[in-house]
Amino acid sequence: MTGRLYGVGVGPGDPELVTVKAARLIETADVVAFHCARHGRSIARSVAEPYLRDGQVEEQLVYPVTTETTGHPGGYQGALDEFYADCAARLAVHLDAGRTVVVLSEGDPLFYGSYMHLHKRLAPHYPTEVVPGVTSLSAASAAAGRPLVEREETLTVLPGTLPGDELAERLRGTDAAAVLKLGRTFTKVRQAFEDAGRLGDAWYVERASSARQRVVPLADVDPADVPYMSLALLTSPAETSFNAPPPERPQDAGAVTVVGLGPAGRPWLTPEAQDALASATDLVGYGPYLDRVPANPRQQRHSSGNRVEADRARLALTLAQDGARVAVVSSGDPGVFAMAAAVLEVADEDEFAGVPVQVVPGLTAAQAVAARVGAPLGHDFCVLSLSDILKPWGVIVRRLEAAAEADLVVALYNPSSSRRKHQLPAARDLLLEHRSPETPVVIGRDVGGPEESITVTTLGKLDPDDVDMRCLLIIGSSTTKITDQGVVYTPRRYP
């Protein structure tokens, strides 16, 4: 088996800009190769040094020439071609022996990188992967704090080794540009910018992302101080982002959005609800529900206790009148026994006329419990609350009787609490007057939460002591079935 070759970009200079994948490959490689001049120093190796380990073989690939003249029969290019062929042969010995070889490259391996010359010679014969890196161009733009291009603008990347007149012509015809390979070419490059009438818009970035980074207007640079690891940058001509006034909180743009959080955590939250929460300036809600929304120091949180829905609604609407974008959070769906109706009731008062209110739906507890066991809500069903705090018990009884006589599947919210113990036994006995004791019953508690439990039983065996305020019950119709595997469903067709 042969080894595997990796061309790994290590970014522009900051070791923290090395990608996670690049760091892993460098650390696990058998052989780490890198290019350098005759002085032996390698920027790529210095960037990768935190990720090297003891015992690795290092292949130092020393250029025979850089900017000086050469007596090679093939001239400068001939000397380099012979050098790359020799380097490829050296690495091939490791690959033939089954070793993993990582070739380090400043920036990106295939963006003016020396690695590409080895890639052309080795990739056709060995398993090879190129790991991209942050380019000097990206780092320079970030260092200058200026966007390269936006909308339909074009970006041109140019080597400083081009003739001056060609550089000037290309600079005239593009929106944004980066000119690399400065050093000895700087005087010519600066003149090209001036000839193109773009010098006043250009920036000079040196050793981007390193401790020696320097960013100054190109016109202010002394040619004697320009290293090879620098570039000239002509950024996006659009200046709107730099001329705009500081952002301010919108005035007279207040609104209330009632957001359904679903029955439990983030996986049950819809993208629309996530967006409403993220764009809010103020969050209002019952404490335990508000705790389910991650804190953001940009937002004000207004927590309150249970049974003060009208007060919460009034607070939210008042905040909106003052220009706040308010999200009122609600468990499950806000329109099902939750905050939507409470907010709309208060919003209907003359005091809050003109305050817009939007309702963002959420997954209901009934849907969540039903999904855990199958499809008990597969046919007609109704949703009732057994709480008699806001409506008389007599009304609840009449509605239960109507649902039982109509043979509807019934989802019961608020089935029991510490102070309401009689309702569920009474509801069970009433339903038994119309339903078989074998009617399937599903008890879902804290569905989606850490204490989730699902119990499948029958109406005759339903024990009210097993139910509390955190439960939701689904009581089947005459057609609801329980399979041998414990799946509960109500057929789509009624006899």
If asked whether residues 123 and 167 sit together in one domain, one would say no
pLDDT at position 74 is 73
- pLDDT value of residue 323: 93
Whether 175 is in a domain gets the answer yes
Instruction: Output the DSSP codes for 17-32.
Output: GS-HHHHHHHHH-SEE
End-to-end CA distance of the chain: 68
Residue 246 belongs to a domain: no
**DSSP per residue, 428-471:** HHHHHTTS-TT-EEEEEESTTSTT-EEEEEETTT--GGG--TTE
Of 117, 133, 149, the residue that ends a domain is: 133
How does pLDDT run along the chain (495 residues), one tens digit per residue? 789 999 999 999 999 999 999 999 999 999 999 998 888 889 999 999 999 999 999 999 998 877 666 777 777 678 888 999 999 999 999 999 999 999 999 999 999 989 999 999 999 999 999 999 999 999 999 999 999 999 899 999 999 999 999 999 999 999 999 999 898 999 999 999 999 999 999 999 999 999 899 999 999 999 988 998 899 999 888 754 566 677 666 565 799 999 999 998 888 999 999 999 999 999 999 999 999 999 999 999 999 998 899 999 999 999 999 999 999 999 999 999 999 999 999 999 999 998 999 999 999 999 999 999 999 999 999 999 999 988 999 999 999 999 999 999 999 999 988 787 889 999 999 999 999 999 999 999 999 889 999 999 999 999 999 999 899 999 999 999 999 999 999 999 998
> Both 114 and 11 in a single domain?
yes
Domain residues for the domain of 24 are 5-133
pLDDT one-digit tens code per residue, 6-55: 999 999 999 999 999 999 999 999 999 999 888 888 999 999 999 999 99
Judgement on whether residues 354 and 373 belong to the same structural domain of the protein: no
| Cα–Cα distance, 48 to 54 (Å, whole number) | 13
Last residue of a domain, one of 363, 396, 431: 363
d(CA 396, CA 392): 7
Question: Domain check: are 274 and 323 in the same one?
Answer: yes
Both tokens of 45, joined, read 């190796």
Residue whose entry in the numeric block shows the structure tokens 């019953």: 441
Residues 280 and 344 in one domain: yes
Shared domain for 127 and 146, answered yes or no, is no
**For residues 3 and 140, what is the distance between their CA atoms, to the nearest angstrom?**
36
According to DSSP, the residues that pair with 59 across neighbouring strands are 33
Query: Do 223 and 275 share a domain, yes or no?
Result: no
| pLDDT given for residue 250 in this prediction | 57
∠43-45-47 over CA atoms, to 5°?
Answer: 70
If asked whether residues 341 and 374 sit together in one domain, one would say no
User: Which tokens sit at 195?
Assistant: 């000839």
Which residues are CB-neighbours of 475 under 8 A, at least 6 positions away? 409, 410, 411, 412, 431, 435, 439, 440, 441, 459
Q: Is residue 249 in a domain?
A: no
pLDDT in the model for residue 68: 61
For residues 301 and 373, membership in a common domain is answered with no
Shared-domain flag, residues 127 and 16:
yes
**Same domain? 292 vs 311:** yes
The DSSP element (H or E) to which 325 belongs, if any, is strand 325-330
CATH code of 178's domain: 3.30.950.10
**467 within domain boundaries:** yes
What residue has token string 């320079």?
140
Domain end (from 190, 211, 239): 239
Number of domains in the chain: 4
Task: With respect to residue 494, please indicate whether it lies within any of the assigned structural domains.
Answer: no
d(CA 373, CA 489): 8
Mark whether 346 and 440 lie in a shared domain: no
Beta strand 453-458 pairing with 440-445: antiparallel
Backbone dihedral region for residue 445 (phi beyond 0: left; psi -120 to 50: alpha; all else: beta): beta
pTM: 0.70
Distances (CA, A) of 427 to 24, 402, 415, 423, 432: 63, 12, 9, 6, 9
Q: Is residue 495 included in any domain, yes or no?
A: no
Q: Which amino acid is at 24?
A: R
Q: Is residue 250 part of a domain?
A: no
Cα–Cα distance for residue pair 440/488, rounded to 1 Å: 8
| Dihedral, CA of residue 267, residue 272, residue 277 and residue 281, to nearest 10 | 170
Look at residue 114 and tell me if it is in a domain. Answer: yes
